């Protein structure tokens, strides 16, 4: 009976990740869906542990866009610089890399370079702020000259367990 209770408790807490990736732990094991401000497109992210929790994978799909769009991010601990690093690859050939830092109530992704398929670069920063146990708010901004312009803000809500 005790073994069953421990197993159920571990399931409720979600799959384990290495302690250095703990800021991402609330996401892991679930899919999260949000609606873009235009109300026509949705974005679904599913987070899973990889290699016994040494990495976290985020696969996402945007639905309702004129062209299909999806992407994949792999998060890892960089022991040398002591930060979480990520690499993102999109179905249109764009890609980016950066860091994910723990914040008071979520994560921040400081200024990073995002490269379009043609090689053009733009600077992006984002934050994910927890909104209760089953949601978080994403704010994504792009640098224009010396100012930051909001790209979008959306609330992501936990939907289903992430597929294996």
Write the pLDDT tens digit of every residue in 63-74: 999 999 999 999
Domain boundaries, the chain: 2-161
Phi-psi region of 25 (alpha: psi -120 to 50; beta: other; left: phi over 0): alpha
pLDDT at residue 14, as a whole number: 53
pLDDT value, residue 164: 82
pLDDT for residue 116 is more than 80:
yes
Rounded-to-integer distance, Cα 47 and Cα 164, Å: 10
Q: Tokens 């703990």 appear where?
A: 22
Residues 125-134 have pLDDT tens digits of 999 999 999 9
DSSP per position, 49-74:
EETTTTEEEEEEEEESSSS-EEEEEE
Q: Residue 161: pLDDT above 70?
A: yes
The pLDDT of residue 112: 86
Structure token digits, residue 117 = 């398929």
Mean pLDDT across the chain, nearest whole number? 90
- Measured CA to CA in angstroms, residue 46 lies from 4, 54, 61 at distances of 27, 17, 9
Q: What pLDDT, on a 0 to 100 scale, did the predictor assign at position 111?
A: 85
| Average pLDDT estimate for 135-143 | 97
Predicted confidence (pLDDT) per residue in 51-63, tens digit? 999 999 999 999 9
Residue range 2-161 forms a domain whose CATH class is: mainly beta
């Amino acid at each position: 009976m005790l073994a069953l209770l421990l197993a159920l408790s571990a399931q409720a807490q979600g799959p384990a990740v290495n302690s250095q990736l703990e800021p991402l732990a609330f996401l892991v094991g679930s899919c999260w869906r949000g609606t873009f401000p235009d109300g026509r497109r949705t974005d679904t992210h599913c987070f899973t542990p990889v290699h016994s929790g040494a990495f976290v994978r985020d696969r996402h799909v945007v639905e309702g866009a004129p062209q299909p769009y999806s992407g994949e991010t792999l998060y890892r601990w960089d022991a040398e610089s002591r930060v979480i690093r990520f690499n993102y690859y999109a179905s249109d050939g764009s890609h980016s890399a950066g860091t994910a830092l723990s914040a008071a109530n979520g994560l921040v992704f400081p200024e990073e370079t995002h490269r379009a398929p043609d090689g053009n670069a733009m600077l992006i920063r984002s934050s994910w702020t927890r909104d209760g146990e089953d949601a978080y708010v994403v704010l994504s901004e792009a640098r224009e000259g010396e100012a930051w312009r909001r790209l979008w803000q959306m609330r992501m809500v936990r939907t289903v367990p992430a597929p294996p």
